[in-house]
Amino acid sequence: MTTTFSDILKIRRPRPKHKIIKEIAKRWSPRYYSDKKIPLSHLKIIFEAARWAPSAHNRQPWYFYYTEKETQAYKILFSTLNEYNRSWAKTAPILILACAITKDGQGDNLFAFYDLGATVISLILQAQSLGYYAREMGLFDKEKVKKIFKLEKNLEPFIIIALGKIGDYKSAPEEIVEMEIDPRPRKKDLFKKLSL
């Protein structure tokens, strides 16, 4: 039996208990992308959303590099991914390297990675509002990335983000479909009122 995108959505789409904004309610991280290119005008909007994320003392400790499929930079960045991520990320039309700025004119930044996370979710939710999906990958050779792309010493490559339109899962390899139909349970208890 062929698994369709609709089948996967029934399993993967969030089921919030309370009414939340649609970008979060529909957000999930696919492993199969369409080869449709993302126009530069949309990338500018996506990165503009990242620019306006909050950060400690407004230090904005983030920097992004993006690369498009079929370019040498894409092939090299892709080659730094671990085997599992390479098994599915090859369909993404865009790979984004998200870096934390760990030191600036004010010295070491203890909150750089926290703030990078805030800007990444801003980027992802903006992309979602434009019809794109993203999946983050932390398992890649960071030292190789630093060396090959000659990153400044204060830039710490932290994650790579696959970005694009969702592909037609009828054409997806069986192992990718198997990964996608695995349900993603969520914590049910994550907050309570603080008291003494």
**Does 123 map to a domain?**
yes
Q: Give domain status of residue 79, yes or no.
A: yes
Q: Would you say residue 50 lies in a domain? A: yes
pLDDT of residue 52: 98
Structural domain tally of the chain?
Answer: 1
Q: What is the pLDDT of residue 2?
A: 66
Q: What pLDDT, on the 0 to 100 scale, is given for residue 189?
A: 85
Q: What is the pTM of this model?
A: 0.92
Q: Which helix (DSSP H) or strand (DSSP E) does residue 147 occupy? A: helix 142-148
What are the φ and ψ backbone dihedral angles of 71, each rounded to 5 degrees? -100, 160
pLDDT at 145: 98
Q: Distance between CA 113 and CA 110 in Å, rounded?
A: 8
The residue range of the domain holding 40 is: 5-180
Q: Which residues of the chain have pLDDT under 50?
A: none
Answer whether residue 195 is part of any domain.
no
Query: What pLDDT is attached to residue 190?
Result: 87
Task: Please report, for the domain that includes residue 75, its CATH number.
Answer: 3.40.109.10
Instruction: Return the pLDDT at 61.
Output: 98
Is residue 187 assigned to a domain?
A: no
Nearest to 136 by CA among 155, 156, 117, 152: 117
Whether residue 12 lies inside any domain: the answer is yes
**122 located within any domain:** yes
